[in-house]
Amino acid sequence: MSEKRRVAVTGIGLVTPLGCEVNSFWDRLTRGESGIRRITYFDVSEYASQIAGELIEFEPEEYLSRKEMRHMDPFTVYGMVAAKKAVADSGLDFSGEDGERIGVVIGTGIGGLQILQNQHGVLLQRGPSRFSPFMIPQMITNILSGLVAIEFGLKGPNFCVTSACATGTHSLGESLRMIQFGDADIVLSGGAEAPICELGVGGFCAMRALSTRNDAPEKASRPFDAERDGFIIAEGAGVLVLEELEHARRRGAHIYCELAGYGRTCDAYHITAPDESGEGAARAMRLAMEDAGVKAEEVSYINAHGTSTKLNDRCETLAIKKALGEENARRVMVSSTKSMTGHTLGAAGAVEAAACALAIERGVVPPTTNYEYPDPDCDLDYVPNEARKAKVTVTLSNSLGFGGHNGTLCLRAVE
């Protein structure tokens, strides 16, 4: 096998509850601001969980016409805007590139849930003859990758990853592989999700997976804290431009960092609960470090999956210890940015990989907010409540999805 090619992150596009521009997102994240509020999209009075991470400062009309948006589920709108922002940030001019060497892999955990809910209402109220002819194209999970390719004329590898909360990480990891082994030179990659509707919130409430701390939304997401009681559903998108490193250098691109390694495993244990041994997640971290050629003692920071659920946070802490060894695990900085953004499900891995890239570039580690009551089972350095200035050279970004899907990315500073 020929030597693997190196891969740079040259563009970031974000649509999040903390803002939709890279700098405003980062400023709020490092100030420890919360994007969690009472849900405004529908009447939540009968729902156990009434809070979510809704988008702020989102103005899609700058990027899409009203006609285009009428034919898209919100998850597609979010992803299209994030993709366009990422391309603009990268400075790429596709007219000078070979479109057959540029791919798109943008996933979603659930897909067109809101159009499904809407069209089910049409069926009940008006009958099957009144379905929208756009219903199926709006719903299917791969439509976002297809539309991004159509927008920019990109004819390289194109597909959709769907692996629940690991979707964004798996999308980036599979894109990394394509560039490493020469199947593409550039890939637009990430995830998008729009789950804040009656079906989405109601379904997660029925699982008893969501926090019910409705009286204090900004305090509800509290990863690794002893008083955590569930995750906060959120919406958004993250798209990164991944580019073969020498290609990026030749065109004088701004390089945030290198996406250097990827590991993916399965717990093969339970449909929603993580394996309490933490071995599956630990193995994903070890594989990512091996792929990147880095040692455990070189890792500066881990952006944890950190959902604020009892099982996840305890098991992930154990997994970090197993992956890095006890001494390195206690040295490394670990934080969960979900404490501020909420859990954007299929978009989470991409949003959090962006946070890792920015931590490397800007020398600041975002905090885990709402960390007030230590849990003896969660005893690492979670960068509690305040961001920390630090030289960040190697990061891991973890995503652990329903179904036992584990994914880890390793990002590092470019030498």
Which residue among 170, 305, 378, 410 is the active-site one?
A: 305
Instruction: Say how many residues make up the chain.
Output: 415
d(Cα 394, Cα 294) in Å, to the nearest integer?
Answer: 8
Query: Quick check: 196 and 190 in contact, CB under 8 A?
Result: no
Which residue among 20, 160, 165, 315 is the active-site one?
A: 165
- Can you give the pLDDT at residue 336? 98
The per-residue DSSP string of 376-398 comes to TTB-SB--BSS-EE----EEEEE
The per-residue pLDDT for range 95-129, each reduced to its tens digit, is: 999 999 999 999 999 999 999 999 999 999 999 99
What domains are there in the chain, each with its CATH number?
A: 7-250 (3.40.47.10), 261-412 (3.40.47.10)
Q: Does pLDDT of 1 surpass 60?
A: no
At residue 116, the 3 state secondary structure works out as helix
Per-residue CA distances from 81 to 14, 75, 204, 239, 378 (Å):
8, 10, 26, 9, 37
Give the pairing of strands 405-412 and 394-401: antiparallel
Alpha-carbon 179 to chain mean position: 20
- Can you give the pLDDT at residue 2? 64
Instruction: State both tokens at 160.
Output: 């959709």
**Virtual CA dihedral for 118, 123, 129, 133, nearest 10 degrees?**
30
At residue 48, the 3 state secondary structure works out as coil
d(Cα 120, Cα 116) in Å, to the nearest integer?
Answer: 6
pLDDT, mean over the chain: 97
Q: In 10 A of CB 208, how many CB atoms? A: 11
d(Cα 326, Cα 96) in Å, to the nearest integer?
Answer: 50
Q: Does pLDDT of 366 surpass 80?
A: yes
Q: What is the mean pLDDT of residues 54-77?
A: 96
Instruction: State both tokens at 105.
Output: 């892999």
Taking Cα atoms as reference points, which of 352, 359, 19, 360 lies closest to residue 170? 352
Instruction: State both tokens at 175.
Output: 């894109």
Q: Does pLDDT of 3 surpass 90?
A: no
Taking Cα atoms as reference points, which of 28, 55, 20 lies closest to residue 235? 55
Query: Quick check: 272 and 303 in contact, CB under 8 A?
Result: no
Residue that the structure tokens 């394996």 belong to: 275
Query: Quick check: 185 and 102 in contact, CB under 8 A?
Result: yes
343 is catalytic: yes
Instruction: State both tokens at 370.
Output: 């709402």
Q: Does pLDDT of 236 surpass 80?
A: yes
d(Cα 19, Cα 158) in Å, to the nearest integer?
Answer: 28
Which residue among 20, 170, 315, 343 is the active-site one?
A: 343
The per-residue pLDDT for range 181-206, each reduced to its tens digit, is: 999 999 999 999 999 999 999 999 99
The per-residue pLDDT for range 300-325, each reduced to its tens digit, is: 999 999 999 999 999 999 999 999 99
Rounded to two decimals, what is the model's pTM?
Answer: 0.97
Instruction: State both tokens at 154.
Output: 């990109």
The per-residue pLDDT for range 267-286, each reduced to its tens digit, is: 999 999 999 999 999 999 99
Instruction: State both tokens at 202.
Output: 């109601």
Give strand pairing partners of 333: 301, 381
